[in-house]
Amino acid sequence: MVPRLTNSVRGPALALEQHEQQQQNVLRTLLIDRVCARRLGGETGLRVNRVGLRRRKPRASSEEEITEADLSVCQPELGRVEEMEESTGGSRNMVANGFKDEEEEDEELSSELIFLGSGSSTGVPSPLCLLRPADPPCHVCHSAMEGPPEINKNYRCNPSLLINYKHEDGSRRYIQIDAGKNFKEQVLRWFLIHKVPRLDALLLTHEHADAMLGLDDIRGVQNYNSMNDIAAMPVFVSQHTMDSVNAKFPYLVEKTLKEGQEVRRVAQLDWRVIDTSCSALFDAVGLEITPLPVMHGEDYLSLGFLFGKKHRVAYISDVSRIPETTEQVISAAGDLGPVDILILDSLYKSGPHNTHFCYEDSLAAVKRLRPRRAFFVGMTHEFEHERDNAELAEWSQREGIEVQLAYDGMRIPVCLG
C-alpha cells in the first residue's frame, strides 16, 4: 500500500482530488452507520456507535432503503458486525442483556470518556515503517494509512483522554488528561466530531513530550484576546512536572512583563501543583480527582488519576510498576472494591520493557486488580486492532473480565456523579 503523500507539483488538481476523497470518506462513514443499523437492528432500530449498540426510534422507510452496492462498499465493517452478532447471540439478545433505550441511557450515563489518543509516543503509523519499509512491510503501519483515521482503528495518536463531565448543576465540564505532541491534530479531529466547544481543565500525568508538548497549542481552544485578558485554565501537575514546564515553557508560566517587553499572545494557564499521594484528593472544575502515583521506570514517578463516584474510572497511561499503596486504591481487594473502568498502559505485544507495561504485564495487572472493564492504551505498531481484540475477547471470556484495546475517537458513556 502506497502512503498518502502530498505532491506539490500537481497543485490545484491534487487539492480538488483530495477534497473529493474526503467527501467520499465522510459519506462512507455515514453509510456504514446506516447499513450496520439496518443489519443489526432490523425492526428494533439498533444504532451502532463507537462504544456499542443502543436502541432508537426507527427511521423513515425512505432512509432505510439500502442497495446491494451499499452493502458491498461496507463489507469489511459488516463482517465485523456479523462476528459481534454471533458472539452475543444476535441483536435482540444485546438489547435483552442490558442495552437501554436511548432516552434511558442518556439520563443514566450522562457523562462520557473520549479517547483522543491510544498510541505510544511515536504513534502509529511509525514514519520509519513507511519511509524505509521492511521486507515484508509492516502491515499495521501500512493499514493505518488506508482510509481516514476516523474509521481506522490502527491509526493512533499520543495517549490522551477527554472527560465530558456533566456536573450536578446540569452544566458540562471538559477535562483533558495530557496534551502531547498530537494535541492540535486530536482537537481538530475529535473535538469537532464530538461537539466539544472548549477545555475547562487539564491534568498532566508527567512531563515527557507525549504528555505536554502540546501546551503551546492550548491557546487555539481559548478565547482570543491580543492582550491575554482572558480567564486562565487550571492545569494540575506534580512539582516535578512544574519544574520541567518552567524550563521548557517559561513564557507559559511568567505572569509579569519585564520593562520594555511586548505582550505576546500565549495560552493562559493557571498552574496548580498537587501532592502525588493517593490521599491528596483535589477538585478539577467540580470533579473530584485522586492522584495515582506509579513508577514509569524505577527512577521516575508518573501519575495516573482516579475519578467518578457512581462509576469509578482509573487512568494509568505510563507505568512499569504500580506501587502497593496505589493498587490498594483501585484493586477489587481494596477497601473501595473494583474500579468500573481501568485504562492501562500496554506498549508492546512482546516484552518486557523497562519503563512501560507490555501486553503480558497489562493482562497480569488486570487479573490482579480485577476491574469490571479494562481498556489498553499506549500501543505501538505491534498491535493490530481487530486481530488482538479478537484474542482479548477470548481472554476476557476465559478470565471473566472484559478487556479490549482502546482506539482513537472511542467513546464510553459513564455516570460520574
Mean pLDDT rounded to a whole number for the chain: 83
Per-residue buried b or exposed e for 392-415, using 16+ beta carbons within 10 Å of the residue's own CB: bbeebeeeebbbbbbbbbbbbbbb
pLDDT at 184: 98
- Per the model's pLDDT, the better-predicted residue between 303 and 1 turns out to be 303
Other C-beta atoms closer than 10 Å to the C-beta of 9 total: 7
- Per the model's pLDDT, the better-predicted residue between 312 and 11 turns out to be 312
Peptide bond into 125 cis (omega under 30): yes
For 61-87, the pLDDT digits (tens) are: 333 444 555 555 555 555 544 444 443
Phi and psi, residue 69, nearest 5°: -65, -40
pLDDT at 76: 54
Give a three-class secondary structure readout of the chain. Answer: CCCCCCCCCCHHHHHHHHHHHHHHHHHHHHHHHHHHHHHHHHHHCEEECCCCEEECCCCCHHHHCCCHHHHHHCHHHHHHHHHHHHHHCCHHHHHHCCCCEHHHHHHHCCEEEEEEECECCCCECCHHHHHCCCCCCCHHHHHCCCCCHHHCCCCECCCEEEEEEECCCCCEEEEEECCCCCHHHHHHHHHHHCCCCCCCEEECCCCCHHHHCCHHHHHHHCCCCCCCCCCCEEEEECHHHHHHHHHHCHHHCCCCCCCCCCCCCCCCEEEEECCCCCCCCEEECCEEEEEEEEECCCCCEEEEEEECCCCCEEEECCCCECCHHHHHHHCCCCCCCCCCEEEEECCCCCCCCCCCCCHHHHHHHHHHHCCCEEEEECECCCCCHHHHHHHHHHHHHHHCCEEEECCCCCEEEECCC
Cα 36 to chain centroid, rounded:
23
For 190-224, the pLDDT digits (tens) are: 999 999 999 999 999 999 999 999 999 999 999 99
CA 130 to CA 143: how far, in whole Å?
A: 11
Q: Average pLDDT of 118-132?
A: 97
- Per the model's pLDDT, the better-predicted residue between 52 and 203 turns out to be 203
Does the pLDDT of residue 410 top 60, yes or no? yes
Question: pLDDT exceeding 70 applies to what percent of the chain?
Answer: 74
C-alpha cell at 367: 487479573
Q: Assign 125 a pLDDT band (cuts: 50, 70, 90).
A: very high
Does the pLDDT of residue 39 top 60, yes or no? no
Nearest to 165 by CA among 328, 326, 305: 305
Q: Average pLDDT of 358-365?
A: 98
For 269-288, the pLDDT digits (tens) are: 999 999 999 999 999 999 99
pLDDT at 324: 97
pLDDT at 270: 98
C-alpha cell at 14: 491534487
- Per the model's pLDDT, the better-predicted residue between 407 and 108 turns out to be 407
For 10-22, the pLDDT digits (tens) are: 444 444 454 455 5
pLDDT at 256: 82
pLDDT at 306: 98
- Range of weakest confidence among 4-8, 83-87, 219-223, 242-246: 4-8
- Range of weakest confidence among 88-92, 117-121, 245-249, 288-292: 88-92
Does the pLDDT of residue 261 top 90, yes or no? no
| Domain 109-203+273-414: homologous superfamily in CATH | Ribonuclease Z/Hydroxyacylglutathione hydrolase-like (3.60.15.10)
Question: pLDDT exceeding 90 applies to what percent of the chain?
Answer: 70
Q: Tell me where in the chain the CATH 3.60.15.10 domain(s) lie.
A: 109-203+273-414
Does the pLDDT of residue 107 top 80, yes or no? no
pLDDT at 147: 86
C-alpha cell at 264: 505576546
Nearest to 414 by CA among 106, 48, 35: 106
Handedness of CA 309, 311, 315, 321 (dihedral sign): positive
- Spatial contact of 226 and 265, defined as CB atoms under 8 Å apart: yes
Does the pLDDT of residue 56 top 80, yes or no? no
For 158-197, the pLDDT digits (tens) are: 999 999 999 999 999 999 999 999 999 999 999 999 999 9
